[in-house]
Amino acid sequence: MNFKSNLQNEQHKGIRSKPLLSRVDHLRASRSVGTMDAAKGSNWNARLFARVICDSNLSVQQKKLIRIELDKFGFGVLERQTPALGRPAISDIGHGNAASHYSKQCTLAIFPDEPIDVESLAAAKAIELQMIGVPFETLPTSRIARWAPCMPIEISTVEQLAKKINAIRTIVNGQCQIGAAISPASVYEDVRAMADCGVDYVCLLVDVFPELSSNARIKLGSIDDHLEQAMKGLCDSGTSAQLHVSSNATTAEQMFGLFQAGVEAVSVDSCLAHFRPPEVAVPKDRYGSVLSYTPVPVSPFAWVAPAVNSLLQDLADWNVFSGENAAKG
């Protein structure tokens, strides 16, 4: 009897100690489940990110259009920082000042051969060091070589990398999260090294979609094999670094599985690639088509918002139903 009453007291204490904000979030999600407000009210947006602008081979104009669509959500959209080697930045198109284009939603990628640009970093929400690629792209490389593990060219030890991260942190006054993107090679050692260097999160690239198409997916590894090693590496490092994953998860169920495995954020690139409609062929008889209808100008990436909204709604639904199942169990 005493045991039962103690248990009830503990349960009551547990309920009482729950933060208010989490109650509001739960109520909002459960009240309006099935509507768009539910998805927007939950914090799924913060746990999703998109690498498509940085990774894909789409044209500059296409990247700009897809960026406009993705900006409607609170994702961390990965974008290249202002380039040093005269490479055109997406942000430069149609803007006098490159830095002014960056919004606070933007995560800036610094590749192994790129210098640090203070003006770009000042407007970033997060900074992600890309531990992948071929520095300076001096040699003809294969498609997959672009995703090969690579340290910044000036860094040769973990201590130096830690100091570089510290320097970046000093530049941004500690206002930004700093992460590191790695491709799966020796995952345990890499994740642990990155965490020891002081990054806030490690992004594990298991599947990438350079052409934003499910058929042209580049599989760098198996999520089942590498996720456990990555989590073990993070646990053994003893730091509070998080794990982000770019995988082939297209459904809310698969993403929820990753979240339950300890992943903090998941890429939506797979989802975008999955929902991207096939290219529409231009009719040969242009005169006839003009006569038949007057096309309304629509963004070629208008499908992005419904696809992402659908995913967010599915995640909210899945969260509620899995929660109920867990309670019943």
Q: Which positions lie near other proteins, rule CB under 8 A?
A: 84-85, 113-119, 121, 135-136, 138, 153-154, 160, 163-164, 166-167, 170-173
- Residue 293 tokens, joined: 């209808």
Task: Output 115 or 283, the one with its CB closest to other proteins.
Answer: 115
Smallest distance from other proteins to CB 156, Å: 8
Task: Output 68 or 153, the one with its CB closest to other proteins.
Answer: 153
Q: Do 78 and 50 touch, CB atoms closer than 8 A?
A: yes
Task: Output 170 or 260, the one with its CB closest to other proteins.
Answer: 170
Task: Output 73 or 102, the one with its CB closest to other proteins.
Answer: 102
Q: Do 108 and 102 touch, CB atoms closer than 8 A?
A: yes
* Tally of CB atoms within 10 A around 4: 8
Task: Output 158 or 218, the one with its CB closest to other proteins.
Answer: 158
Smallest distance from other proteins to CB 173, Å: 8
Residue carrying structure tokens 């284009």: 101
Smallest distance from other proteins to CB 57, Å: 23
Smallest distance from other proteins to CB 81, Å: 11
Smallest distance from other proteins to CB 118, Å: 5
Q: Do 228 and 182 touch, CB atoms closer than 8 A?
A: no
3-state SS, 273-286, equals HHHCCCCCCCCCCH
Task: Output 163 or 232, the one with its CB closest to other proteins.
Answer: 163
How far is CA 28 from its chain centroid? 25
- From the list 142, 149, 136, 251, the residue with the least C-alpha distance to 193 is 149
With both helix axes pointing from N to C terminus, report the angle between 158-171 and 187-197 in degrees, rounded to the nearest 10.
50
Smallest distance from other proteins to CB 326, Å: 46
Residue partners of 265: CB distance under 8 A and separation at least 6: 46, 47, 48, 49, 76, 201, 242, 244, 245
Q: Do 271 and 311 touch, CB atoms closer than 8 A?
A: yes
Smallest distance from other proteins to CB 82, Å: 10
Smallest distance from other proteins to CB 202, Å: 22
Task: Output 177 or 248, the one with its CB closest to other proteins.
Answer: 177
Instruction: Give the separation between CA 12 and CA 264, rounded to whole angstroms.
Output: 29
- From the list 48, 47, 122, 108, the residue with the least C-alpha distance to 78 is 108
Q: Do 224 and 206 touch, CB atoms closer than 8 A?
A: no
Task: Output 61 or 156, the one with its CB closest to other proteins.
Answer: 156
- Residue 118 tokens, joined: 């203070």
